[in-house]
Structure 1
Amino acid sequence: MKFVYILFVYSINSAFAQTQKYLVSFKNNTVSKEALLSSMNNSFRSFRIKGINDNQVSKSLSTLKKVNRSLYTIQADNTTAKGIKSNSNVRALEPDVSIVGDEIKQVPLQSVPALIKEHYQKPFGIDLDSIIVNAVPSPLYNFDSDPNNWLVQRYPPWHLGRLASIGANPQNFSPYGQEYYYLKAKNNVVVYLLDSGVDPNVPELSGKVRLGSNFISGEDNVDYAGHGTAIASLIGGKYNGVFKDAKIVSVKVLDKTNTGSTSVFLNAFDWVLNDLQDNYPSTPAIINFSINYSGESALLEAVFQEVYKQGILSVNSAGNYKTDACSYSPTKYDSVLSVGSFGPQINSFDNDFSNYGPCVDVLAPGSFILISGPGNKGMGMVNGTSLAAGIVTGLGAMILSYNPGFKPGDLKNAIIKSAITNQVVNVPDNTTTRSAWNGFKGSKSTFTYL
């Protein structure tokens, strides 16, 4: 019995010692840290929550640390955390969770034709004349209606030609396809890219990127993972980019393993709002956040709502898990634009990785996509819904350039309602068929070959 008793005491003490970092948001952000600590101390003494040890409470409260104007972190065990949450001054408390960014899968360039054929299980000579636009929408954005004023990029990656095309065509295959028609900027637009960082020195992005804040402790403001540079090249790259005149601000929130945390993300969004006010007070902005989380975070949802309220639309990837996008945050939030993906040749939904369902707002090219890597990695070909989100972010930036007065709801509605319907095939049930379109209504893109 004595032996059992000792084990029992040990297990209690061991469980009691297990703590983790929590995020705390208070109802009144103007109250001093000392006042908050006093209030929480009084709560513990008043309510005497069962299982809470005074010594442990003191230790937890001593770890309270302010992260930004509305967020604190605190180290606590589960029982103490419940006590903290019961305080009347606490708005929300939740664990600080590590989150891995969406993976982009490398595709060997030399195997692209065979992979496309295998991927879609269709011969290259398939006749898709029956896949046509049922009704070409009138774009809900004020672009130049004269096709002669649009610039032309020859030999573009297939995703660009597809974005500027009304019709679907089987010859629109990777890596080259239809010519890309696009517009130069009418007004400046800032694109905040919350990702693994960006290499501003690659030729594709030379002169286009400002390195903003780095929220990854122990790492330089360098893109070790390569994810952020890839997305930046699709947003505004000289060759692969949708909106060539985008002003990209890199905000590093993912480390070399492509991992971040809710505290990092929340702090980064707070920085974005401050930076926009300080450096671009009259410039329209858009955010790209290609990261998904399968859990619940009231604080994360609140910060996306606040960003939306402050006039910025966030574009988010639907996720690469082949499941319902409504199971992921922030994909399911009304305050974001969620993007699923499809591939080249027959415009088939990327069923082998893209999330689906009613929380997906629009589709865009996401497989066999040419991107730029950091350092001396050069161009590469990758798959992932992050790429589709980058393409739509570039489109959103171009729309804002011509419609700087658009509110987030206006921009989201314009992208969705102006998209082309019923061209993407093999789309899962309860999933949109709308494919992003940049509004070019000139002569049909021609085919060019090297």
Structure 2
Amino acid sequence: MKLTIILCGLAAAAAFPLAPAAAPIKNHGVSDDIVIPDTYIVKYKAHVDAIKIKDHEDDFDDRARKANKKGIFDRFNVLGLQGYIAEIPRSELSNLTESDLVKPIEYVEKDTIVKSTAVSAVIPDIPDLTKRAMTRQRHAPWGLARISHRSRDSTEYYYSDTAGEGIRVYVLDTGVRLSHSDLGGRAVWGANFVASSTDGDEDGHGTHVAGILGGTTYGVAKKATLVSVKVLDRTGTGSMSGLLQGLNWAVADAKNRGLARKAVINMSLSGSYMQSVNDGIQAATDAGLTVVVAAGNKDQDVMHWSPASAPSAITVGAIDQNDQRAEFSNWGAGIDIFAPGVAISSAYNTSDSAVVAMSGTSMASPHVAGLAAYFIANEGLSGGAVASRILDVATKGVGDSKGGSDRIAPVNPPLKTSNLPSPLVAAAPTLTPSLPTNLATQPPPPLPDVLLSSTLLLVRVHLVGREGMEVGAAQLGPPAGPPAAVDGYCTVKRGWARSGERSVIWRLAVGM
């Protein structure tokens, strides 16, 4: 890395040496409203002598404690990316950046706020399916169907039996509800880097992300191990220093288990540009891990944000059901790929069966992280080869990508429809009936039947009028005999559904 060396000044007499080079504060211009007061991330230069580090830290801690600050409260070492996180008063900052003991330091950064990248959440009415392994998932959430087919009209998700088996996916987020039924017992506890916070998911964002990564119903890599690394609090807010600690822990855990090349890190969060976080991601990918990050929801150039601007990460923007860039998604040359990120249904933290629909690049990122786990397990890929593979098989055609990638998270080669028997890939019929205003007096129009799996336990639907006003509710199933004939649920916003002699109009809050 090239550094700008600033001479602090010349001594008055030639007999005195030059003053030491100042350690630059990389993000000195960051807005004060996102700065965590008196907290700094300090990165050492490469190959610094351990004695020099000890001398520096002893002096630094002494100064900080005399000013009633904590001093150094954590250290990180991600494959040579070494440094510490500390609390010091601003009055002592010059001693940190300009003293004789600054020589080991490459740069200093103000610690800043990082936040989850979901923009909305809606409690949906959802179908409850039996949880069983299969290579074809009918009536899949639209995001799963989209990454499994070139066309937008599919309602099925195809995947290999490996499905991420043997891969550890580290979910750096608000925590995960480990007991959630859709996570299938594959979610495990990792670590907590949020002060004064319980180990569980108090927000719901992390559980939702984990469900997209590897949920039995809502997930991409349905056999992956999901590791909860808590770096955000109950409001979806954390610090860049906490994120760096979580990253450091995840890399160390993967290496200690001998799984660095069978590990994926997902970060569905965003904050201001931070060199230390980007450097940490580079160190993680150098170690063989695959790092996938959300682009962020500011509708801005992604290069102003971290971890989205990290060159070695796979940065994911969000698209809607029409393959258009979501209006909130960041954009630019730093985007590697787009994935579904609008009205995505997944697990939630309020109970072991709770499900919500959320929107945001937070939802797009785990689609791609799940694909990374899938490819690592299925094809033995690792490191940069994973990203290359995902991009190679991606579909082109994102609308309004604003100069960045126009690629949509891919059709997996083993899942291409051309490789499957034609009866398995027949699309459900497109239904465009006019919606009657009065349900009581107008019967439903005739519809072709779509065979629904006998695993259907319950479908909850809303009765709506022409303008979408809710006028009642009904439930369909389970079928008493052969599978019920029902217009494919989770595939349309509105349409007729038919079960035996009962007919209703339904509107789904999921899969839209």
Same fold (TM over 0.5): yes
TM-score, L = length of structure 2: 0.67
Distance (whole Å) between structure 2 residues aligned to residue 96 and residue 278 of structure 1: 28
Correspondence list, 1:295-444, <5 A: 296-344=273-321, 346-351=322-327, 353-376=328-351, 378-404=354-380, 406-422=381-397, 424-425=398-399, 427-437=400-410, 438-439=412-413, 440-442=415-417, 443=422, 444=425
Structure 2 matches for 1:30-69, cutoff 5 A?
A: 30-31=50-51, 34-37=54-57, 59=67, 63-69=71-77
Counterpart position of 1:100: 115
Q: Which has the higher strand share?
A: 2
Give the length in aligned residue pairs. Answer: 371
Question: Could you say which structure has the higher helix fraction?
Answer: 1
Q: Are the equivalent residues in 1 in contact too, given 2:123–2:355 (CA < 8 A)? A: no
CA contact (8 A) 1:358 1:430 kept: yes
1:127-180 superposed Cα distances (whole Å, 9 cap, x missing partner): xxxxxxxxxxxxxxxxxxxxxxx81111211111111112233xx5xxxxx111
CA distance in 1, matches of 2:72, 2:385: 40
Q: What amino acid does structure 2 have at the position aligned with 1:435?
A: I
Whole-Å Cα distance in 1 between the matches of residues 226 and 426 of structure 2? 28
The two structures, once aligned, show a CA RMSD in angstroms of 2.8
TM-superposed deviation, 1:277: 2.0
Measured in 2, the distance between the counterparts of 1:414 and 1:56 equals 49
Could you tell me how far apart the structure 2 residues matched to 1:268 and 1:282 are?
15
Distance across 2 between alignment mates of 1:58 and 1:411: 50
Corresponding residue for 2:106? Answer: 91
- Alignment deviations for residues 82-131 of structure 1 (CA, whole Å, 9 cap, x no partner): 33123112222222222222134113547xxxxxxxxxxxxxxxxxxxxx
**CA separation in 2, counterparts of 1:322 and 1:182?**
32
Distance 1:421 1:84, change over 3 A: same
Structure 2: which 5+ runs fail to align?
1-35, 126-133, 429-449, 451-487, 490-512
Identity of aligned residues (%): 27
Do the aligned partners of residues 109 and 95 (structure 1) sit closer, same or farther apart at CA in structure 2, a change above 3 Å counting?
A: same
* Residue 215 of structure 2 is aligned to residue 237 of structure 1: yes
Please tell me whether Structure 1 or Structure 2 has the larger radius of gyration of its CA atoms: 2
Offset at residue 23 of structure 1 (A): 2.0
Which residue of structure 2 aligns with residue 26 of structure 1?
A: 44
Q: 1:115-134, aligned counterparts within 5 Å?
A: none
Q: How far apart are residue 66 of structure 1 and its match?
A: 4.1
Distance 1:62 1:371 in 2: 40
1:225, distance to aligned residue in structure 2 (A): 0.8
190, 215, 239: which one aligns with 2:168:
190
Is the partner of 2:407 in helix, strand or coil? coil
Aligned to 1:446: 427
Pair 19,215 (structure 1): closer, same or farther in 2 beyond 3 Å = closer
Distance 1:282 1:350 in 2: 33
**Bigger mean CA offset, 250-259 vs 160-169:** 160-169
CA distance in 2, matches of 1:103, 1:357: 20
- TM-score of the two chains, using structure 1 as the length reference: 0.76
Per-residue deviation, 1:284: 0.7
Distance 2:393 2:311 in 1: 18
